[in-house]
Amino acid sequence: MLEQIDALLNEAKSKINSCQDLKTLNDIRVEFLGKQGKVTNLLHTMKDIDKEQRPKFGQLVNSARNEIEELLKNLQISLNEKAIEQKMANERVDISEPSKIVEKGEIHPLHKVFDKLIDACVAMGFTVITGPEVEYDYYNFEALNVPKDHPARDMQDTFFITDNILMRSQTSSVQVRAMETMKPPFKIVSPGRTYRADSDATHSPVFHQFEGLVVDENVSLVDLKSMLTQLLKMLFGENTKIRFRPSYFPFTEPSVEVDATCPSCGGKGCRLCKNTGFMELLGAGMVNPKVLEMSGIDSNKYSGFAFGPGVDRLAMVVNKIPDLRMMFENDMKFLEQLK
Amino acid sequence: MKVTLKWLKDFIDIDMTPEQLADKLTNSGNEVEEIIYQDKYLKNVVVGKILDIQKHPNADKLVVCKVDIGEITQIVTAAKNIKVGDKVPVSLPGANLANGIHIEKSKLRGVESVGMFCSIEELGVTDYDGEVNGIMILDDDAVIGENIAKTLQMDDVIFDINVTANRPDCMSVIGIAREISTLTKKPLKKQDLYYETCNDDEDVKKYIDVEVKDERLCPRYMACAVKDVKIEKSPKWLRARLVSVGIKPINNIVDITNYVLVEYGQPMHAFDYNYLEGKKIIVRPANNGERILTLNHNEYDLDSSMLCVCDGVKPVVIAGIIGGMNSCVEPTTTTTILESACFDRASIRRTSRKIGVRTDSTARFEKGVDCSLQPLGMQRALSLVYKLNAGKIVKGQIDTVKQIPQDKTMTFSLNKIYKLLGVEIPKDDVLDILNNLGIKSSINGDDLTCLVPYYRQDIECYSDIAEELIRIYGYSVYDSINAKPLSGTSVTIGKHDEILHLARNLKQQLCSYGFYECVNFSLCSLGDRDKLLIDEQSELYNMIKIANPISEDIGYLRTSMANSMFNTVARNLSRKNSEFKLFEVGRVYLPKELPLTELPNEINMLSFCTVCKKDDFFVLKGVVENLLRDFDLKYKLDYSKKCFLHSGISADIIDLRTNEIIGSFGKVHPKVAENFDLSENTYYSEINLDKLVKYQDKKHSVEMISKYPYVDRDLAIICDEDVTVDSILQSVKKSCGHLYYSAKVFDIYRGKELNGKKSVAFTFRLESKEKTLTDEEINQVVNKILKDLNFRLKAVLR
C-alpha cells in the first residue's frame, strides 16, 4: 500500500522532471490529479483497506497529492517564464529604425533667449510690457532727453516715417510709456523689435532689445550690478562676472557699458573677446533725473536704473552663431542646427 | 576723433605707454577705439643715397645700384624714376611694408640685392600732394642712414577716440589733455600764444564790418585781419601733424585754421579779403534761391533755414559747415580775414543733414562749441601766423559777443550722490577728482558746492557729478561688490505680458507638430503687395512707407504676415531645402490713414506654413483646431475670402460671438505661389492673436458620467459630392435626439462605381442617463437617422 503511494509519487516526479512544455504539464496534471487521475483512483481504493489504516492511508495519499501539486505549480511558473523568454527572444525590433512620431520643431534661438530673460525677470518681480514699434518722436527721443537736433541722435540712424513718427530705434520708448502710467515703485521689462538704418555683418536694420527699468526709492548702481550679474549668470553660467565701463546715453546718468566674462573662454582670453577675457554685452545706467521728471516722477524721491541688452547679440553669443544675418534668413539648415 | 601722443605732450607730460594711456582714457569714458603706430610699416626702412646705377648683366628691365645707407650696399631695382644722387627710402631685411611685403636679402637674376627702394604706397604714407610716382624721392636734407619714420616725421602714435555726445569739450587735443591731467594729477603745461601786431595805424575795423542778424544762431563772431600774407607750404612739422590726424595740408593760412580746430576744438575760417564785396561780413539766414559753390566743388541751393556767412552781396560760407570757392584763400591771396565764431548746434546739424555735408567743423559745432572758446582759438591762430611769419597781423579784433558765459556755482547733496552710486567715495577723493577736473569744489556737511566751468555744459544735476566722480574714481570699485539682487528695492509681483505668453503656448504646440520658428523682418518691399494679389479695396493695401529706407526691399511696413513667410519659404526652396514647416509670431501694421498722422494699428499675428508633400488642407485644419481648442472660442469655418488663398481649399475662422474673422488657413492661391516661386503644395495659416487673447479663459463644467453603457454603431451612406460632412453630422445629431452622445466621420470613399457620388462612413454613440438601451430602441434611432438623411440630404445606405 505504502509502496503503491511511493511508486505513484516517483512516477509523477520523474514525469514532472522530464516535462518541457505546458501541454505535457497539463497532461501530467490530468494523468495524476484529474477526475480519473491516478491519485484520485488510488483514493478510491481506500474502501478496500482496513478501517484503522484508512486515516493513515488518506493522509499519505493527500500529502503525495499536495507534493505533486506543488511540483506542478513550480514547474508551471518556470515553464511560463521560459515561454515568455522564448517569445521575447523571437520578438526583436531594429531600434535604429526611425520613430513614427512627427519630429519636433524648434523655437528660434532669439526667442529662446527672450523667453529665458523674461522668465528670470518675472521671477524677480518684473512686469513684462510691450509697446508700439511705430512710435512718436517724443517717446523715442524727446522724453528720453534727446531733443530734436541733439547730437545724441547721431548715435543711432533712425528710420523716419514722418517728421514726427518713426520706427523706434530703442525699446527705451516703452520706459517712457510705462513711467507715464505706472506709479513707483515698479519693475518692468520690455522685449521687442527695434529698427535702425544700418546693415552689415554686425548690424541688422531690424533687431531686438530687452529693456529693463526699475524705479524705486534708493535704487543704486549696486542694485543694477547685482541684478545684471544674476541675469547674465543665468545665460552664461554661474562663473560669470560683470564689470562696468563708463559710457554715455542721454537717458541715463551715470551711464555704463556692461562687460561680462567671455562665455567662450571663461575669461582666459580668446579670439572672440580679443584676449580681454570680457565681452561687451549691453548698455545700462541710472535713469537721468531729467527723464524721470519729464514723465512725472518725483526725482527727489525716486531713482531708477535701466538696462538694454541687444538680444540678437546675446543669442549669437549663447549659440556661437557666426553671422548675424543667419538669424533672419531662416534657412532650415540653420534652424535645424538649433534642435 | 584723432589726437597724437606728441601733440598731447605739448600740453601735458605723459610717462605711460600708449597702451596704458589708452586704458586710462577708455576706463574714464573716452573710449580709445584704435592705437595707430605711424611707424608700423617703417621699421628697418632707412634713408639711402644712390651713388651709382649700372645695367643688370642678365635683365633688361633691372638696374644694380650702389647705395649709401651709412655703409655702402647694393640694391637691384626696376624703378625708373631714380638717378644718381637721389635720396630714397631703402627697406632692409626684416622690414614689413604696408603692402604686406616682407623684405629679405635675395638674388635677382643672379645679382645680390640687400633690400628694396620704396614707393609711398609701400610705406603706407598718405600723399596729399600727389607729387610722387614710383620710388619716393626724399628731400636733399634727409640724413643718410636715418630711420625713415624720423625723416618723414611719422614717428608719432595716433589715438582714435570715440568722444561721447555729452562731452564736446573733449573734441580737441587740449580737451583730451585736460582729461589726462585729471587722471594723472599732473598740471597742464603753459602755452606760448605770443604774437605781435603791426605798428601802423590801421585797425581791423578799417578793413571789415561784421553784422550778426540773429544772435541766437550766432552768439559770437570774432574777426581779425592779416595783411601782406605770404601763401606757401606750411612747415614740415605742421603738415605732419595735420596728416597724422587725417587732415590734408593746403597752405599755411588754411593749415593754421585746421590746426587750431584740432588743437583747441574751435573751427575757424579764413577769407581772401579781396573777394569780400562791400567790406562787410553779415551772418544771416540765406535767401531762398541763393546758391553757393563750395570747397568740395559742389554747388548748393540755399534756403532761409540755412545760416550763412555773407559779404555785402552774397553768401561766402555755409556757416560752420563749409566755405565757398568765391572767397577762399589761394596762392594769390594778400590779405586774409580770420573768423572764429560760435554757431547754434541745432541749426548747424539741421543744415548739415539737409545738404549732406559733414566736415571736421560740423563735427565740433554739432556737439556744441561754447561761446567762450573763440578768443582762445583766435589767439592761437594769430600766434601761429606770427610764428610762421605768414603775414602781418592788423591791430584790433572784432567781437560781436554781448554776454560771455560765466562759470556756474551749483550745490549738490553728497549723500544723494552716494545713494545713487551705492558706494561712498572718500571726501578727499571727491574734492581731488572735481578740482582736477577744473570743477572747483568744497564740502560743507552734506553740501557739495561746485564752480562748474563754462565748458562743462553737460553738468546740470547731481547725477552728472556722480558720473564725474565714479568714472575717475574707477568703476572697478564695483568689481568686488556682491549684493543680493534687488535687495534694496520694494517687493513687486512679476507678471507676464498676455500676448507674449499666449504666443509662447501656441509656439510650443506648433513645435510639437514639427514646425520651426522663423524671425522675419517686418519691413518689406512694395512689390510684395501685388504678389499677394492685394487690391485697392483691401485693408491690407495701404502700406506705411519708410521716408529714408536703406533699400527698397525693406522700404515698407508689412500689412500681412504672408509675404514674409512666402519669401522665407521661397528662399529655403531655392537653397534646396524641401519638406519643412515654419511659423512666425510678429506684427502687421495697418495705418488708419496715409500719410500717418497718428500711430497705426499694430496687430499681433501668428502665421504658419507647411511645404510637406503629405500635408494637405486637413492636416492644417487639424493643427488649427487643436490650437484653438484651448480657448473659449465658438467659431465656424467658411470658405476664405483672403486674396492670397485658394478660394476652394481654404477657410476663414469666424468668431460666432462677434462675426469677425479671427484667422484663415488653406492652400496658397496658385497665382500667388507662382509669384513667390513656391511649390503649389504650400499651405498657409494665420491667426490674429489680439482677437484670440480675449478668449483665454476656457471654462469647463463637468457632468456626471452615465451609469449605463453607451452603444456605438457605424453606418456608411452614399450621397452627392456637394453634401458636406458637417450637414450629415448635424442631421445625425438631430435624429438621435436626447440619446445623442457623439458622431464622427471615419472614412470618405470616392470610386468609379459610385458615379460621382461619395460614400461617407460615420460612427455615432448613443447613451441614456436613465437606463440601458435596448436593441429595439437602438434600431429605431438607426432607422430614423437613415430616413432623415435620405429626406434631408438624399443620402442612401451604402
Please indicate, yes or no, whether residues B165 and B248 belong to a single structural domain of this protein: no
Domain end, chosen from B653, B668, B695, is at B695
Residue B351, C-beta contacts closer than 8 angstroms, at least 6 positions apart:
B305, B306, B307, B318, B319, B321
Q: What is the pLDDT of residues A284-337, one digit of tens each?
A: 999 999 999 999 999 999 999 999 999 999 999 999 998 999 999 999 999 999
Q: What mean pLDDT, rounded, does chain B reach?
A: 94
Among residues A324, A328, A305, the alpha carbon closest in space to that of A316 is found at A324
Instruction: Report how far residue B195's alpha carbon sits from residue B384's, in angstroms, rounded to the nearest whole number.
Output: 8
Q: What is the predicted pLDDT for the residue at B539?
A: 94
Q: What is the predicted pLDDT for the residue at B127?
A: 65
Grid cell, residue A172, equals: 527705451
**Is residue A124 within 8 angstroms of chain B, CB to CB?**
yes
List the single residue in A185, A221, A327 with the smallest CB-CB distance to B492. Answer: A185
Q: What is the pLDDT of residues B455-485, one digit of tens each?
A: 888 899 999 999 999 999 999 999 888 888 8
Q: Are B273 and B336 in contact (CB under 8 A)?
A: yes
Please indicate, yes or no, whether residues B550 and B633 belong to a single structural domain of this protein: yes
CB contact under 8 A, A149 and B345: yes
CB contact under 8 A, A221 and B575: no
- Interface size A-B, in CB pairs within 8 Å, comes to 270
Report the pLDDT averaged over residues A62-68: 89
The distance of Cα B306 from the centroid of its chain, to the nearest Å, equals 27
Work out the minimum CA distance from A201 to partner chain B, whole angstroms.
15
Please indicate, yes or no, whether residues B178 and B310 belong to a single structural domain of this protein: no
CB contact under 8 A, B490 and A185: yes
Instruction: Report how far residue B308's alpha carbon sits from residue B326's, in angstroms, rounded to the nearest whole number.
Output: 14
Q: What is the pLDDT of residues A68-93, one digit of tens each?
A: 999 999 999 999 999 899 999 999 99
Whether B554 has a pLDDT exceeding 70, the answer reads: yes
Among A206-215, B92-101, B502-511, B755-764, name the one with the lowest average pLDDT.
Answer: B92-101
CB contact under 8 A, B476 and A132: no
DSSP B349-406: HHHHHHHT---HHHHHHHH---TTSHHHHHHHHHHHHHHHT-SEEPB--EE--S----
Whether B487 has a pLDDT exceeding 70, the answer reads: yes
Please indicate, yes or no, whether residues B532 and B386 belong to a single structural domain of this protein: no
Q: Quick one: pLDDT band at residue B730, thresholds 50, 70, 90?
A: very high
List the single residue in B476, B497, B571 with the smallest CB-CB distance to A130. Answer: B497
List the single residue in A159, A186, A227 with the smallest CB-CB distance to B492. Answer: A186
Interface of A with B in 302-331 (CB under 8 A): 303, 327-331
Please indicate, yes or no, whether residues B662 and B522 belong to a single structural domain of this protein: yes
Which residues on B lie below 8 Å from A336 (Cβ)? Answer: 516
CB contact under 8 A, B518 and A197: no
Where b means 16+ CB within 10 Å and e means fewer, B557-568 reads: bbbbbbbbbbbb
Q: What is the pLDDT of residues A4-55, one digit of tens each?
A: 888 888 998 999 999 888 889 999 999 988 888 888 888 888 788 888 888 8
**Is residue B125 within 8 angstroms of chain A, CB to CB?**
no
List the single residue in B419, B497, B522 with the smallest CB-CB distance to A218. Answer: B419
Q: What is the predicted pLDDT for the residue at B130?
A: 58
Whether B125 has a pLDDT exceeding 90, the answer reads: no
Please indicate, yes or no, whether residues B680 and B607 belong to a single structural domain of this protein: yes
> Scanning every residue of chain B, which has its alpha carbon at the shortest distance from the alpha carbon of A327?
B519
Q: Residue B178 domain-assigned?
A: yes
CB contact under 8 A, A187 and B475: no
Work out the minimum CA distance from A118 to partner chain B, whole angstroms.
8
Work out the minimum CA distance from A94 to partner chain B, whole angstroms.
24
DSSP A210-230: EEEEEEETT--HHHHHHHHHH
Q: What is the predicted pLDDT for the residue at A152?
A: 82
Whether B342 has a pLDDT exceeding 90, the answer reads: yes
The distance of Cα A155 from the centroid of its chain, to the nearest Å, equals 38
Whether A155 has a pLDDT exceeding 80, the answer reads: no
Q: What is the predicted pLDDT for the residue at A3?
A: 82
Q: What is the predicted pLDDT for the residue at A38?
A: 87
Q: Describe the crossing of helices A22-33 and A54-90 by its angle, rounded to 10 degrees.
A: 170
Grid cell, residue A72, equals: 506542478
Q: Quick one: pLDDT band at residue B652, thresholds 50, 70, 90?
A: very high
**Is residue A187 within 8 angstroms of chain B, CB to CB?**
yes
Instruction: Report how far residue B55's alpha carbon sits from residue A303's, in angstroms, rounded to the nearest whole number.
Output: 81
Please indicate, yes or no, whether residues B101 and B14 belong to a single structural domain of this protein: no
Q: What is the pLDDT of residues B136-146, one digit of tens each?
A: 888 888 999 99
Please indicate, yes or no, whether residues B723 and B626 belong to a single structural domain of this protein: no
CB contact under 8 A, A126 and B490: no
**Is residue A111 within 8 angstroms of chain B, CB to CB?**
yes
Work out the minimum CA distance from A105 to partner chain B, whole angstroms.
4
Residue B701, C-beta contacts closer than 8 angstroms, at least 6 positions apart:
none
Domain boundaries, position B79: 43-151
Residue A246, C-beta contacts closer than 8 angstroms, at least 6 positions apart:
A254, A255, A256, A257, B27, B28, B29, B467, B470, B471, B475
Grid cell, residue A337, equals: 542646427
Which residues on B lie below 8 Å from A326 (Cβ)? Answer: none
Report the pLDDT averaged over residues B482-490: 86
Interface of A with B in 272-301 (CB under 8 A): 286, 288-290
**Is residue B792 within 8 angstroms of chain A, CB to CB?**
no
**Is residue A227 within 8 angstroms of chain B, CB to CB?**
yes
Interface of B with A in 574-633 (CB under 8 A): 575, 577, 580-583, 587, 589, 595-597, 599-600, 602
Domain spans of chain A? 2-90, 109-338
Q: Does domain A109-338 have CATH number 4.10.520.10?
A: no
Name the β-bridge partners of B604: B587
Work out the minimum CA distance from A151 to partner chain B, whole angstroms.
5
Instruction: Report how far residue A174's alpha carbon sits from residue A189's, in angstroms, rounded to the nearest whole number.
Output: 9
CB contact under 8 A, B577 and A187: no
Report the pLDDT averaged over residues B235-260: 95
Q: Quick one: pLDDT band at residue B524, thresholds 50, 70, 90?
A: very high
Q: What is the predicted pLDDT for the residue at B132?
A: 59
Whether A252 has a pLDDT exceeding 90, the answer reads: yes
CB contact under 8 A, A133 and B589: yes
Please indicate, yes or no, whether residues B650 and B518 belong to a single structural domain of this protein: yes
- The CATH number for B624's domain is 3.30.930.10
**Omega before B267 within 30 of 0, i.e. cis:** no
Please indicate, yes or no, whether residues B657 and B569 belong to a single structural domain of this protein: yes
Please indicate, yes or no, whether residues B208 and B352 belong to a single structural domain of this protein: yes
Among A8-17, A263-272, B575-584, name the one with the lowest average pLDDT.
Answer: A263-272
* ipTM score: 0.86
Residue B549, C-beta contacts closer than 8 angstroms, at least 6 positions apart:
A159, A197, B523, B555
Work out the minimum CA distance from B596 to partner chain A, whole angstroms.
7
Interface of B with A in 410-429 (CB under 8 A): 419-423
**Is residue B167 within 8 angstroms of chain A, CB to CB?**
yes
Report phi then psi at B534, rounded to 5: -80, 125
Among A189-203, B128-142, B493-507, name the one with the lowest average pLDDT.
Answer: B128-142
Instruction: Report how far residue A305's alpha carbon sits from residue B786's, in angstroms, rounded to the nearest whole number.
Output: 73
Q: Quick one: pLDDT band at residue B128, thresholds 50, 70, 90?
A: low
Among residues A229, A232, A256, A231, the alpha carbon closest in space to that of A245 is found at A256
Q: What is the predicted pLDDT for the residue at B267?
A: 97
Please indicate, yes or no, whether residues B507 and B455 belong to a single structural domain of this protein: no
Q: What is the pLDDT of residues B441-455, one digit of tens each?
A: 999 999 999 999 988
| Sheet (strand B740-749) strand order | B740-749, B758-766, B711-719, B796-797
Per residue, the 3-state secondary structure of B221-237, as one string, reads EEEEEEECCCCCCCCHH
Which residues on A lie below 8 Å from B466 (Cβ)? Answer: 253-254, 286
Instruction: Report how far residue B204's alpha carbon sits from residue B153's, in angstroms, rounded to the nearest whole number.
Output: 37
Number of domains observed in the structure of chain B: 6
Whether A274 has a pLDDT exceeding 70, the answer reads: yes
Interface of B with A in 454-513 (CB under 8 A): 460-464, 466-467, 470-471, 475-476, 478-479, 481-497, 499-500, 504, 507-508, 510-513
